[in-house]
Each structure stands twice: as C-alpha cells, then as structure tokens.
Structure 1
C-alpha cells in the first residue's frame, strides 16, 4: 500500500507538469497569434502587413491568411520550429536550381529569424521573432508556389499583347494542404512543370551555374576572322572557350586553328542558328563572347516562360517555337514531323498560347482584318480601282452577312480609312493569302495556322514576315496527320479536295493540342542546348541571376599569355 501511494503521488506530480507544459505551450502559441493580430491591426487595413520589422509581405494573400478567424500558427509550436518549416527553408535555399531567386523569398531574413528562435532560452521564447517567422515563411511559401506554378515574370505586365491561359492554382489551399498534416516538399514539388524541355533546361542550368562558379570564361579578343591556319593567342582563347562548354574536346596543345577546332566552331555555330562554316567571323565571335551569366539568365527566362503554360497532359500535340521558326508534331516527347514556319513581324507579333485545333478549312476564305483593310487594301484600291478583281476579292458593306457589292460604284479616293464601313474577303484560289488549308483553334489573339502562296519565303533563315498568323511549310502533311483518325480522310482525299477548289470545313475526330512558345533557348532531341535570336526583344527584362558561389570577373582575358 505504501509503494502504491508513492506511485500515486508521482503520477499526480507528473500529470501536473504535463498540464503545466500544455498550458505553457498553448500560452506561447496564443502570444504568437496575438502578435500577428497586432501586425494586421497596425496595418490600418492595408492589403499587405509587415512580415518582419523591415520587410513588407509581398502578397495580399498572406494578410488574408491571417485575417481568417480560423487562422493558426503554421510553422512553429510551443516556441519550436516545426519540421515543415525546415522543409520549406531547404526548398527556398535550392530554388536557384529551378531558375528562381532565393532572396525573392526573404531567405536572409528567414535565416536570421530561425537563428534567433533556435538560440533563445527554453523558457523565454522570442514571441516577436516567432510571429515574424510565421508570417515571413507563409509569404515565402505563397510567393514561391505562385512563381513555380505560373512564372516569376508577370506576362501581362511585360508582354501585354500575349494573353496566356495559365494553369489554375489555388495557393491558399496548397498552403493548408502543406501545413496541416501534409508534406511541404511533396506539395511544392508537385508544381514543377511537366512540360517537355523544362527538366532538360534545368540540367543545362546546373551545368552553366557550375561553369560560372568556377570562373566562367574569358573574352576572345577582337580581330580578323579566325579560320583554318590562323595562329596565336586568339586561337588559344577560342580553344579554351569552346573546351569549357564542351564543343572542343581535343587535348593536344596547339595554337594553330586546325580541323578539330573548325569542327568545334561548326558545332557551336549550329547550336546558335548561325551558318556552320567553321569560320569565327564577327557574328560568331559575338556569340562566343556572351558571358556565362547572360547565358544563365537566358536559360532561366526560358524556363520561366515554360511555367506560363498549362500542364501538358496529352502525348500528342503541335509545338510551334516562334524564334526557331519551326513547327513540330510531338508524340511521347519526340518530334515525328518537322516543318519551317513564318511568324509575325514587329508590332504584329505571333502570340504565345495553348489551345486545341478543332477543325481545318480546305480552300478557305480570307476575311481580311479591318486593320489590314484600312492600312493596306484601301491605299492599293485608291491607286488601282481594279485591285480587288486582280486579287480575287469581294467587298461588303458593314458585314460579311450582307451580299457583296460592286466596287466600281465606290469612289475609293474619298473613303476615309478612320471610319471605313467596307470589309474585304478573298475567295479560295491560287491568289488566296491563306493558301489551300487553314488550321483553326480558339484564342483571344485571333490567329491560326495556314498555308501560303509565297512559299519562297521558307528558304530564308529569318522568317518573321506575317501579320501574326503562322504560315506552315508542309500544310498537306500536317492536314494528313490531323485527319488520320477521321474516316475517309487520307492524304489523297485532302489533295483531291484542294484540286476541286471548293471550300470545305473538316472537324478533327479529336481536337489536337497546340502550344505556341517563345523559346530562345531549349534542349534539342540530341540533348544539345540550342540558342536563337530574340526577334521580339522579349529577353530584355530584369531577371536576377543567383549563383551558389561568386564567380570571378568574366571580362578578364588571356592577352598576357
């Protein structure tokens, strides 16, 4: 009985400590929550509260999260940092591997706050630091998830003419899922784009980040073109430059431009869309002297643009790359049909978008856009009243639903382009600007793929000539592919319908995904990094480059060798 009594008293004492500890823990969390409430109250109704003393939260969603009556402390308990917070911090530290910038997510402040919390005495938890840490981590989570899901660059702010249907992501729901019994790492990794090419670019990004951390490369001095037989310091500089990126693999030491170096130069030129003649002319030298940090920025920008697109779920789709002037029919990540394309020029940029081709039009009409009618057709009519007849065009008053009118009854020189009521439509035939086939997919830009009578332009290296629609180099082959599942529509049927001259709309058995991207850097099917000219000057945006270590000055050269 005596032993039992002693055990009983021990149990009572232990229970008292447990209850005291529980009360103490609840008191800490209550104080932290009260401190966060104080932040919100002191904001005066502003959409963004102060995450820390000198940092305003970047997203209004963070304020909304803590404004809810049901809001809780997410990243600590009983004054101790939770494992899910450590998972998030690790992801933020490594965000540069996904072409993101760790300091966007307040990493330095988070590290300071975690150190402050971890080093505090057990019975004296830093309430203010815990409140700052909770709001800062929440803001970092939401902003990182937003960037990973839909891109760091705001396309509407930087490229207002491109209306992109991004994937829908509910950020507050993600936060709840990650912090309430979920796994932060698993939730955030689920946002990684599955779009083909993203992971390949990520691998190349790591390669160039390592090059930068090891010092990058020096500049090749200006001078005469380098070619077979050239000698001297500039040849050595060229060898070193190409050896760093892997085009030049010869270990034999020489300062003479030989066949091996020519092959390396040709490989580099092919990767940059240059004429692969093995001669380092002014254009090739300029590409060679682009700094490693600039290449990292280009890779990161292109990864970011891939994040704009919705997740690719279909194994079959059309991929148009505007700067490469190319269209690929993709199946299971491989191109099974490739063709050149002509894209929009200047102010008439082709749009970046994702849609589905639902039907094709054989022997189509060309309903001339009003802007082209005012700016191009009307001036030609004023010079030549027979222009419409020569181009097989009809004119309509107000609407194509009205019957066509006789253009000879109109004094075109008196027509004001600013309030012109007339519309023009070109009939099917050899003059038709859309050629023989038109491929239709819904999009707010009002563009489509189509054939063209000016096929000689496909022989040009740079092919931005259109008003925004995309002209395809192999329209019949593309139509055959799209209609391959359609009964009674083989290649011969398409050709036969074209020859008939009759307009016909043919719906696909299943709509086909089409993705139009703007890729100035990508990885080809051979695993080679490809670069193309930034024809729309889209890459001229602020995108900070983060490196795990500082690189040495890239502008130093080997002139003193």
Structure 2
C-alpha cells in the first residue's frame, strides 16, 4: 500500500514537471528565419502590438498583417540590425514619399513621425518597438496602395465583377529584406500593363512640371491641314507630337512637312483615328485635352491594373474585350492571334465587366428574344403589324419568340457562349456598317464581333476535324449546330480608358460609360486639380 501511495505521489509531481518542460521546449523553438536576413536576435513582448495600434489608430487596418508577420518571425525585430535601421527601411520610406509616381495621391498616416525617424537614421541605432512596428505598418500601407488598390467591396460597387487577385505580402517582405532592389522590379503578380502605364505617367508628370503643354489654337474657318500647308497651328501641333513621342524632334517649323506627316500617322494609330495624313479639328480637340486630365486617366487605369493578377496572361488561350476601345483580342501563348472591332452595350444597356470560361460555339443560332425586348419591341410590333414575325424571320416558341437561323438573324451566323448570369455572349451581326463608326455602343449588352469567322477559325485551329472550309459551310447553310470546346477559354471583359500596346504606343479612349470619375473620386484625396464632381 505504501509503495502504491509513493507511486501516486511521484506521478502527481513528475507529470506536471514534464508538461512544463514540454511547454518550455515548444515556446523556445523559434520559427526558422531565412539565414540571409540580417536581423537582431532579440524578441519583443507580443502584447506590445495591441498597445501600438491603440496609440496609432490610423494604422489599425494593418494590425492583422503585422501580427501575422511577427508571429512568423517569433516576434524578433526585423527592421534593425547591429548598425541600427536596415537598408530596406530607408528604401521603403523613399518609395512611400514618391507614391505619386505610382499613380497614387493619398495622405501618409503619421507622416511627421516617419519623417522624424528617417530623416535622422543615425539616431535610431537602438531597436525601438515603436519604430519597428511603424516600419512594418508603413510596409503594409505601401503594399496595399501600390499592389492591391481599393478594397473588393468598393470595386463591386463600381460594377467591376472581374475576379480580384488574392495575394499575401507577409512572405514577400522576407525577399525584400534579403534583396531590397526587388521593390524596383515588376513583382507580386501585378498586371504588366501597370508598369507600362507607370512609365507614361512619369513622363507626363515631367511635362506637367515643366508647364510646356499648351493649347493648340485653330482658326474656326480652317477645316483641315494637309502636307504642304503652313500655319502657326502647325508648329503647335508639331510641339504636341514631340512631347508625346510621336516624332523624335521639334524643328518648330510652321510647314506641314514629311516629319510632321510621320508624326501624324503615329498619332492617329494610337488615337484610334483612320490612319491618313489629314489633320481635322477633331484631332486637334483630342490633342487639347489638358495634361491634368491625361494624368488622372492614367492613374485611374493603373488602379484597375492593381485588381487583376498577371496570372491571367499565363493562360494558353485567352479572349480579352476592352469596352472603351471597342476591341476584342484572342491570345494564344501570350501573343495576339486575332484582333477585331466590336460593338458593345448602349449606356442604358451597359456591357458588364466580368469574366467566364467560353464553352461553346453555336453556328447558325436561333435568337431567343429576351423578355425585356419581347415586351418593349416585339409585342408592340405585332400589335401594329400582324405580319411582324414573318417579316423578321421570327416564330413563336412556346410562350416566347425566337428568330430563325440565317443571315438576317440578329446574332448573325455564329455566337460564342461563356455561360453567365448576365446573359452576355459574343456574336456575329448582320449590321456590319456599325463597325465603321468611331463610337460603337449600340447593343443591348452583348458583344458583336466584326471578325467572327476568323475568331471561330482561330479557336478551332487545333481540332483536326475542323478547318476554315468546314466552318464556313456550317455558318452559311444548315440548321443550328453546337460545337463544344475541348478546352475552355477564359473570357475577360474589362474597362480601360488608356492602354499601352505592344509597340509602346499610348491609346486614350472615350470613357463611354463615365466610370472614370466615380473611381477618381475614391482615389484622389489630396490633389484638388484631379478631383472632379461625378
């Protein structure tokens, strides 16, 4: 009995000691930090993080990220080394102070505090919890503004339904601490277009700073300029073309010479005008858009780029529609294979900004009349004209109406389906003349394609059972025929009012749905000249 009691006593005393020992071992096992990160082998009290954000409430939005960061690093200082604040902290501070070059105009929280720290780095030799956590918060502030942009709910409120990229910036910081120069590279999966626009922005900002973007004056009596003409206006146009890189030098000549002609052809190519050497008042009106407006447009579209992951460009096949450009591009292996003009929705029937995978191509399709069109257009037409359906090649289909296949069908001879709740798809059209218009917002929301045969041929290119001849045969005769794609193709319908193409030309497009102003109102907090009423 005595032995049994002794055994119990031993268990009571030894077992808790073993748990304490295990707990100490668990707590003392540090999270592995990459060996090449030169940090202090010193930890701070984790409860100080909560205290810090009470002291700096404007940074509280980054508290979860900061906590995750230090949990990963076992609450070690990461912004200090044996010499004080590390190299990357200074680089980050300079980046934050130059956010305008990244297309961002916003208030930097506690800027005076940051200035005090980084203007006097020599006074920060000793590790400080406040300075440490301020630096981490500054990093997440920068990452949020430059890489992520405004939050998802706000983009949904702006009717932007393309999927937002999902990124974490906790692990990326390790790479930056090892190699600070990475912050200057095209990192973190931001759409490459962002960096192209950033270069244009910085060029336009320099022009704005010099103040040499002036209004081109035009005599109302002059209807056009052609090679050989001379006028003061010609010299002003030449200056504009030089500033925008359409020509390489400015001779200041008032004569419309061959150099100016080459510049005009470049200008028209980028502005979407018919490419010829005639200068019309509408071209000068385009040139006279204030540089402040151009800068605002670039910044707004850089923000849109932040929302899209560069991963989409890794798709083997991809279809992109840019609504303001009225253009569709089919990419294969990252290269444009088909480009086509498109017609998009009217302002009262806006084409939705979203993405979905294409699954089917339908040759000689029926057009099932949407309920809204049936009520507003078809039924009133039938009431006025009993032969309305026959005259429009339509028929009753149960309780609805559909248009029969054929060249007069409103969907044309082929449609491309990517099933979605918006009931939007790509299709041919018998109304070919609309593609000759500069502004092409005429549809009920779907997207009409100028080159549907070429698009179908390109999509079906790798199917040995199909060729251009068979595709043409299916489009030009027979009944409705459904083709199922062997591999789904992502379709992205986006909205960019400025774009830099593969040749480096900058294209500005009309804001057809007036979406830029709403986004600009969210972005520009400090620059009154960039704020505009909705």
- TM-score normalised by length of structure 1: 0.73
Residue of structure 2 equivalent to 1:416: none
Equivalence map 1:220-231=2 (5 Å): 220-224=216-220, 225=222, 227-228=225-226
Residue of structure 2 equivalent to 1:161: 159
Residue of structure 1 equivalent to 2:361: 360
Question: CA–CA distance in 2 between the matches of 1:26 and 1:198?
Answer: 39
**1:534 and 2:511 matched:** yes
Distance 1:155 1:286, change over 3 A: farther
Residue of structure 2 equivalent to 1:86: 90
Deviation readout 1:371-410 (Å, 9 max, x if unpaired): 33333333323333443344344446xxxxxxx2xxxxxx
Residue of structure 2 equivalent to 1:493: 470
Give the 3-state SS of the residue equivalent to 1:508 in structure 2: strand
Does the CA contact (< 8 Å) of 2:87 and 2:180 recur in 1? no
Question: CA–CA distance in 2 between the matches of 1:64 and 1:538?
Answer: 37
**1:201 and 2:183 matched:** no
Residue of structure 2 equivalent to 1:300: 299
Question: CA–CA distance in 2 between the matches of 1:432 and 1:75?
Answer: 66
Question: CA–CA distance in 1 between the matches of 2:419 and 2:482?
Answer: 15
Instruction: Report the alpha carbon displacement of residue 346 of structure 1 after superposing the two structures with TM.
Output: 0.3
Give the 3-state SS of the residue equivalent to 2:516 in structure 1: coil
Give the 3-state SS of the residue equivalent to 1:270 in structure 2: helix
Give the 3-state SS of the residue equivalent to 1:347 in structure 2: helix
**1:325 and 2:326 matched:** yes
Question: CA–CA distance in 1 between the matches of 2:344 and 2:394?
Answer: 24
Deviation readout 1:521-540 (Å, 9 max, x if unpaired): 22233322222222122222
**1:50 and 2:50 matched:** no
Question: CA–CA distance in 1 between the matches of 2:354 and 2:249?
Answer: 43
Instruction: Report the alpha carbon displacement of residue 251 of structure 1 after superposing the two structures with TM.
Output: 5.3
Question: CA–CA distance in 2 between the matches of 1:182 and 1:427?
Answer: 65
Instruction: Report the alpha carbon displacement of residue 343 of structure 1 after superposing the two structures with TM.
Output: 1.0
Instruction: Report the alpha carbon displacement of residue 152 of structure 1 after superposing the two structures with TM.
Output: 4.3
Instruction: Report the alpha carbon displacement of residue 437 of structure 1 after superposing the two structures with TM.
Output: 1.3
Question: CA–CA distance in 2 between the matches of 1:28 and 1:510?
Answer: 52
Give the 3-state SS of the residue equivalent to 2:242 in structure 1: helix
Distance 1:445 1:63, change over 3 A: farther
Instruction: Report the alpha carbon displacement of residue 439 of structure 1 after superposing the two structures with TM.
Output: 0.9
Equivalence map 1:319-398=2 (5 Å): 319-395=320-396
Does the CA contact (< 8 Å) of 1:148 and 1:192 recur in 2? no
Residue of structure 1 equivalent to 2:498: 521
Give the 3-state SS of the residue equivalent to 1:113 in structure 2: helix
**1:477 and 2:454 matched:** yes
Equivalence map 1:423-438=2 (5 Å): 423-438=400-415
Instruction: Report the alpha carbon displacement of residue 340 of structure 1 after superposing the two structures with TM.
Output: 1.5
Give the 3-state SS of the residue equivalent to 2:304 in structure 1: helix
Deviation readout 1:275-314 (Å, 9 max, x if unpaired): 5555554422222222333323322322332332232212
Residue of structure 2 equivalent to 1:113: 117
Residue of structure 1 equivalent to 2:50: 37
Greater displacement, 220-229 / 373-382: 220-229
Deviation readout 1:420-451 (Å, 9 max, x if unpaired): xx543333333432122111224443311111
Question: CA–CA distance in 2 between the matches of 1:306 and 1:117?
Answer: 35
Equivalence map 1:186-265=2 (5 Å): 186=182, 191-193=187-189, 195=191, 197-224=193-220, 225=222, 227-228=225-226, 233-249=232-248, 252-265=251-264
Give the 3-state SS of the residue equivalent to 2:314 in structure 1: coil
Distance 1:239 1:493, change over 3 A: closer
Distance 1:371 1:68, change over 3 A: farther
Instruction: Report the alpha carbon displacement of residue 545 of structure 1 after superposing the two structures with TM.
Output: 10
Greater displacement, 527-536 / 234-243: 234-243
**1:456 and 2:462 matched:** no
Distance 1:251 1:213, change over 3 A: closer
Question: CA–CA distance in 1 between the matches of 2:408 and 2:135?
Answer: 62
Instruction: Report the alpha carbon displacement of residue 87 of structure 1 after superposing the two structures with TM.
Output: 4.5
Does the CA contact (< 8 Å) of 1:317 and 1:514 recur in 2? yes
Instruction: Report the alpha carbon displacement of residue 472 of structure 1 after superposing the two structures with TM.
Output: 0.9
Deviation readout 1:195-231 (Å, 9 max, x if unpaired): 4544433333333233334334222235334635665
Question: CA–CA distance in 2 between the matches of 1:426 and 1:307?
Answer: 42
Structure 1: runs of 5 or more not aligned: 1-24, 43-48, 397-403, 405-421, 552-561
Does the CA contact (< 8 Å) of 2:349 and 2:444 recur in 1? yes
Question: CA–CA distance in 2 between the matches of 1:285 and 1:108?
Answer: 45
Distance 1:254 1:481, change over 3 A: closer
Does the CA contact (< 8 Å) of 1:208 and 1:292 recur in 2? yes
Give the 3-state SS of the residue equivalent to 1:434 in structure 2: coil
Q: How many positions carry a matched residue from both structures?
A: 480
Does the CA contact (< 8 Å) of 1:163 and 1:444 recur in 2? no
Instruction: Report the alpha carbon displacement of residue 505 of structure 1 after superposing the two structures with TM.
Output: 1.7
Equivalence map 1:60-79=2 (5 Å): 61=64, 72=75, 75-77=78-80
Does the CA contact (< 8 Å) of 1:247 and 1:264 recur in 2? yes
Residue of structure 2 equivalent to 1:21: none
Question: CA–CA distance in 2 between the matches of 1:102 and 1:231?
Answer: 46
Does the CA contact (< 8 Å) of 2:357 and 2:489 recur in 1? yes
Q: RMSD over aligned Cα, in angstroms?
A: 3.9
Distance 1:238 1:451, change over 3 A: closer
